[in-house]
């Protein structure tokens, strides 16, 4: 079996692999890029696995960066680009159902492929396009099936995150989870409690942004995985509603979290904190959720308070929740507001002080009242109109 490596991402990396081979070691393309290329999808982050140890890779290439040296990953810099080369390795330990205690570098490709999660992720390709398929990954790729490499129970005991990866890939690739693998997820779902929230959240977000979100969510619920994630344990009904939304693909995590907070009736800050999401995202989602609750007829102030980054998020969420209805576009209504930020007001605190106002809370209240009146369209945003209003 040969694979087409004409994509420039692969082509650019081939000379590197040839140099590794010329030095007497093996080198293969592995992971998602191989899988995606076979599916006719453009590869992203092309990963190279090699029998050369990190120190040996560094001898071959003059310019490298230790990006993940403890896992055996060295970034080789070439033509202004970086290529991750990871030494073949096995993992052992796994005493706490997450990540191995030890990573051991090995010279055998087979051992490296054996520790990978799913057969479709365990293919390796040589620079001439020859495919190494030790676990029938090509058949599963053809059939669109996700199957654990080896014994699924053992594999999920080693690293419980793989169960979340299964539903994530189901959504991302539109593949089905093979029955024994699915049964093992159902049996072992409670082990997810041992995995860090950050790792769970990363897979869950990718599930939400996948093309077959419905299928991924359906199994996230059916296997009981949801019950071992932050705040979702008693949210089966809300999650079922989430899974039943129109299949519109989501491109923005903010929309995903806004829908979740809304359907599950969870306070945004609490939800986002429990899932360890960035403060900036939590802030945006909190404003989007507030606006969503006010749609389809928000006041100008509600639109203004949401802000430019949250208005389209709320609009998208609303359209998914109300597929049969049409409403004035909140994005257009927002664009039509007289001002979009406080610093667009025609007077400043300094202007008011120059006109005789004393600094203090009262000044703040006056400015806020002017801001509200301008946003509501009750007052023209000119210094004259605002000064006159302020004097009153
Ligand atoms: P994508 O890049 O689209 O997310 P991917 O398959 O490349 O998909 P990565 O998370 O980048 O996913 O991992 C790269 C490869 O490393 C996988 O294809 C798989 O072979 C292996 N892998 C990653 N995480 C695990 C894990 N938890 N257990 C076993 N193998 C894993
Ligand atoms: Mg990848």
For the stretch 167-176, pLDDT in tens is: 999 999 999 9
In which band, very low, low, confident or very high, does the pLDDT at 99 lie, cut at 50, 70 and 90? low
Instruction: Tell me the C-alpha distance between 11 and 184, whole Å.
Output: 39
Confidence at residue 164, expressed as pLDDT on a 0 to 100 scale: 98
pLDDT above 80 (res 2): yes
Q: Closest-lying ligand to the alpha carbon of 155?
A: 1
162 C-beta closer than 6 A to ligand 1:
yes
State yes or no: pLDDT of 363 exceeds 80: yes
Whether 95 has a pLDDT exceeding 90, the answer reads no
CA distances from 368 to 79, 313, 371, 383 (A): 55, 26, 5, 15
Rounded mean pLDDT, 248-253: 96
State residue 100's pLDDT score: 62
Nearest protein Cα to ligand 1, atom 8: 32
**335 φ, ψ to 5°?**
-60, -30
Q: Calculate the alpha carbon distances from 11 to 15, 43, 48, 129 in Å.
A: 8, 11, 13, 11
- State the ligand closest to the CA atom of 172: 1
Which pLDDT score, from 0 to 100, does residue 385 have? Answer: 95
Q: Mutate which of 32, 122, 167, 192 to test ligand 1's pocket (most atoms within 8 Å of Cβ)?
A: 32
Angstrom distance (rounded) from CA 201 to CA 221: 15
* Pocket lining: 112 vs ligand 1, CB cutoff 6 Å: no
Q: Which residue puts its alpha carbon closest to atom 12 of ligand 1?
A: 32
Tell me which residue has its CA closest to atom 28 in ligand 1: 117
What was the pLDDT predicted at 96?
63
Nearest CA to ligand 1 atom 21: 116
* 33-39-44 Cα angle (round to 5): 25
Atom of ligand 1 nearest to the CA of 165: 27
Give residue-wise pLDDT tens across range 192-206: 999 999 999 999 999
d(CA 337, CA 23): 65
Stretch 372-392: mean pLDDT: 95
How many Cα atoms are found within 13 Å in the side-chain-facing hemisphere of 369? 13
The string of DSSP letters for 168-183 reads HHHHHH-PEEPHHHHH
In short, whether 140's Cβ falls inside 6 Å of ligand 1 is no
Residue 101: its pLDDT value, please? 62
- Residue 249 phi/psi, 5-degree rounding, is -65, 140
Say what the pLDDT of residue 102 is: 74
Q: How far is CA 377 from the centre of its chain?
A: 39
Which of 70-74, 94-98, 275-279, 313-317 is predicted with the least confidence, judged by mean pLDDT? 94-98
For 93-226, list the strands marked E by DSSP. 102-105, 124-125, 131-132, 145-146, 176-177
Residues with CB under 5 Å of ion ligand 2 are 32, 45
Q: Does the CB atom of residue 117 touch ligand 1 within 6 A?
A: yes
Q: For residue 150, how far is its CA from the centre of ligand 1 (angstroms)?
A: 16
Q: Report pLDDT for 199.
A: 97
Ordered structural domains, the chain, with CATH:
1-143 (3.30.460.10), 148-244 (1.10.110.30), 245-337 (1.20.58), 342-391 (1.10.246)
Q: Given this model, what pLDDT does residue 328 score?
A: 85
Q: Does 253 contact ligand 1 (Cβ within 6 A)?
A: no
State how far the alpha carbon of 256 is from the alpha carbons of 211, 262, 369, in Å.
13, 10, 34
What number is the average pLDDT over the span 94-109? 76
pLDDT tens-digit series, residues 294-320: 999 999 999 999 999 999 999 999 999
Interacting residues of 361 by C-beta distance below 8 A, sequence separation 6+: none
Q: Take residue 188 and report the two structure tokens written for it.
A: 């072992």
Q: Is the pLDDT of residue 340 over 80?
A: yes
Give 131 or 80, the one with higher predicted confidence.
Answer: 131
The reply to whether ligand 1 has any atom less than 6 angstroms from the CB of 159 is yes
> pLDDT exceeding 90 applies to what percent of the chain?
89
Q: For residue 34, how far is its CA from the centre of ligand 1 (angstroms)?
A: 11
* pLDDT on residue 93: 60
**pLDDT above 80 for 94:** no
Span 207-211, mean pLDDT? 98
């Amino acid at each position: 079996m040969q694979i087409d490596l004409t994509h420039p991402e692969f082509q650019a990396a081939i000379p590197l692999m040839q140099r590794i081979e010329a030095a007497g070691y093996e080198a293969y393309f592995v992971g998602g890029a191989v899988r995606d290329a076979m599916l006719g999808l453009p590869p992203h982050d092309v990963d190279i696995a090699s029998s050369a140890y990190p120190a040996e890779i560094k001898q071959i290439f003059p310019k490298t960066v230790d990006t993940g040296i403890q896992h055996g990953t060295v970034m080789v810099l070439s033509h202004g680009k970086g290529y991750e080369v990871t030494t073949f390795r096995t993992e052992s330990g796994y005493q706490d159902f997450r990540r191995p205690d030890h990573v051991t570098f090995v010279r055998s490709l087979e051992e490296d492929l054996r520790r990978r999660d799913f057969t479709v992720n365990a293919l390796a390709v040589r620079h001439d396009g020859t495919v190494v398929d030790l676990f029938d990954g090509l058949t599963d790729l053809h059939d669109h099936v996700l199957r654990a490499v080896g014994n699924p129970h053992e594999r999920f005991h080693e690293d419980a995150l793989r169960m979340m990866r299964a539903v994530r890939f189901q959504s991302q690739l539109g593949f089905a989870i093979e029955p024994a693998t699915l049964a093992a997820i159902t049996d072992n779902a409670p082990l997810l409690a041992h995995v860090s929230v950050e790792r769970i959240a990363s897979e869950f977000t990718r599930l939400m942004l996948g093309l077959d979100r419905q299928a991924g969510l359906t199994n996230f619920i059916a296997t009981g995985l949801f019950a071992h994630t932050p705040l979702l344990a008693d949210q089966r009904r809300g999650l079922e509603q989430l899974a039943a939304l129109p299949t519109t693909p989501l491109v923005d995590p903010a929309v995903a979290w806004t829908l979740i907070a809304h359907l599950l009736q969870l306070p945004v800050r609490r939800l986002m904190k429990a899932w360890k999401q960035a403060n900036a995202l939590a802030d945006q989602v909190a404003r989007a959720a507030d606006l969503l609750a006010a749609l389809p007829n928000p006041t100008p102030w509600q639109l203004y308070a949401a802000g430019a980054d949250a208005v389209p998020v709320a609009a998208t969420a609303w359209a998914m929740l109300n597929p049969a209805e049409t409403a004035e576009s909140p994005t257009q209504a927002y664009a039509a507001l007289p001002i979009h930020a406080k610093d667009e007001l025609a007077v400043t605190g300094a202007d008011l002080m120059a006109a005789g106002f004393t600094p203090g809370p009262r000044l703040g209240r006056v400015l806020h009242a002017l801001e509200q009146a301008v946003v509501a369209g009750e007052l023209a945003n000119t210094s004259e109109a605002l000064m006159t209003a302020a004097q009153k």
